[in-house]
Amino acid sequence: MSTQTLTIARLGAQGDGIAETEDGPVYAPFTLPGESAALAVNKSHGTLISLREASPDRVEPHCRHFGPDGENGTCGGCTLQHAGDPLYQTFKRDLVINALKSKGLKPDVAPLITAHPGERRRAVFTARKTEKDLLLGFNQAESHHIVAISECPVASPGIVSRLATISKIGAAMAVNAEPFRITVLETLSGLDLSVDGIKGFGDRERRRTVETVLGERGIARVSLNGEIIVEPTKPIIEFGGVAVSPPPGGFTQATLAAEEAMAALVLDHIGKAKRVADLFAGSGTFALRMARKARVHAVEGEDKALKALDFAARNTQGLKPVTIEKRDLFRRPLMAQELKVYDAIVFDPPRAGADVQCQEIARSGVKKVVAVSCNPITLARDLAILVAAGYRITSVTPIDQFLWSAHVEAVATLEK
């Protein structure tokens, strides 16, 4: 390890500043382009010691837990609180532009739809029982160290105001000092806590958990490894006015604002389509909205999510018919012949993307396609498959819902 003063040339894909040296790039978290920084350099990693010259794009962090001088350690929940909005928003948009360019695609990319503090309705905390109480927070980057938090400007006030309650429930559930995860979703009927990673949970912990939850207000459900432990009331979220009770730990978009922006782009592109296939449909984020105007066939590999979608569709008046199909689209994609009957296709896969399914979409010739993605790299790969088959990209819109992180969503629309 050596101490070096280096000039930061650019931001990397993970939000770290990058300095070019004779020995290769050095990645330095919490630095910005144009800054001169004293770094403790260990191979390709630089730890910020001090700034010799700060960038005009640098701003004061929003949270006491952020950065190398963060309270209780360096919280790994955010990476870019120190970047001003113009630089930060350009960085996020460029993640999408550069991924597309890597596959030879150069469509117009719209300005970033921005995220704001306090919008995150879903947060994943790390917890660990201590001798005194429960340590609740986020892991330091590339570390098992848990940074205990007392605030979080990213999360919704409904979550932040209940941190003490979440800690109390976590302490009741903990069996030993092994760390575990608590995913918290703010729903219309209360917080939904989905806990993973606790082993040896027995009758004593179950009774203690139920008593603790029933003694608190505003908790809709607590589950462990997918099993409901206690459910004072059904957790309810709405997809375009359709009430849905998602399964324990089921996927939901992290912010309502981002979800609505994505849905608006999807609905606008499918237009007056009468029959739509929604692939990787989850609990119905898009399917139930589209069903206001079109017949929808929703395909999803996760059984509990599909059942939640089906129940919501069957119990909501005014929807067009919604059919469901449980199917692993990675191993058994809908074939081109099956897809030909639809006027439009929407797909929203996990980070791995949907290359095998896209090959069938490409052969189907369906006129309108919408790709929703949380990974610009796999999105670019999937779009390249469709473009090679004669589809034209009509719009690409980057959407921020993981504020001050290096993650960005995107919605791309295509026509044959």
Q: Could you check whether 2-58 and 122-230 share the same CATH topology?
A: yes
The pTM is what? 0.94
User: Mind listing the pLDDT tens digit of every residue in the chain (416 residues)?
Assistant: 899 999 999 999 999 999 999 989 999 999 999 999 999 999 999 999 999 999 999 999 999 999 888 888 889 889 999 999 999 999 999 999 999 999 999 999 999 999 999 999 999 999 999 988 899 999 988 788 999 999 999 999 999 999 999 999 999 999 999 999 999 999 999 999 999 999 999 999 999 999 999 999 999 999 999 999 999 999 999 999 999 999 999 999 999 999 999 999 999 999 999 999 999 999 999 999 999 999 999 999 999 999 999 999 999 999 999 999 999 999 999 999 999 999 999 999 999 999 999 999 999 999 999 999 999 999 999 999 999 999 999 999 999 999 999 999 999 999 99
How far the first Cα of the chain sits from its last, in Å, is 55
CA-CA distances (angstroms) from residue 99 to 4, 349, 354, 379?
Answer: 32, 17, 16, 8
C-alpha to C-alpha distance for 282 and 285, rounded to whole angstroms: 7
Known catalytic residues are 374
Residue with tokens 């978009």: 253
Asked if 77 contacts 153 with a C-beta cutoff of 8 angstroms, the reply is no
C-alpha to C-alpha distance for 206 and 368, rounded to whole angstroms: 50
Would you call 34 exposed, middle or buried from its count of C-beta atoms within 10 A (0-12, 13-18, 19+)?
middle
Asked if 231 contacts 220 with a C-beta cutoff of 8 angstroms, the reply is yes
Q: What is the CATH number of domain 122-230?
A: 2.40.50.1070
Residue with tokens 């929940």: 77
Q: Where are the domains of the chain?
A: 2-58, 90-115+252-415, 122-230
Domain 90-115+252-415: CATH superfamily is Vaccinia Virus protein VP39 (3.40.50.150)
Q: Please name every residue paired with 41 in a beta bridge, in sequence order, or none if there are none.
A: 2, 46
2-58, what's its fold? OB fold (Dihydrolipoamide Acetyltransferase, E2P) (2.40.50)
Nearest to 194 by CA among 221, 175, 171: 221
Largest CA distance in the chain: 67
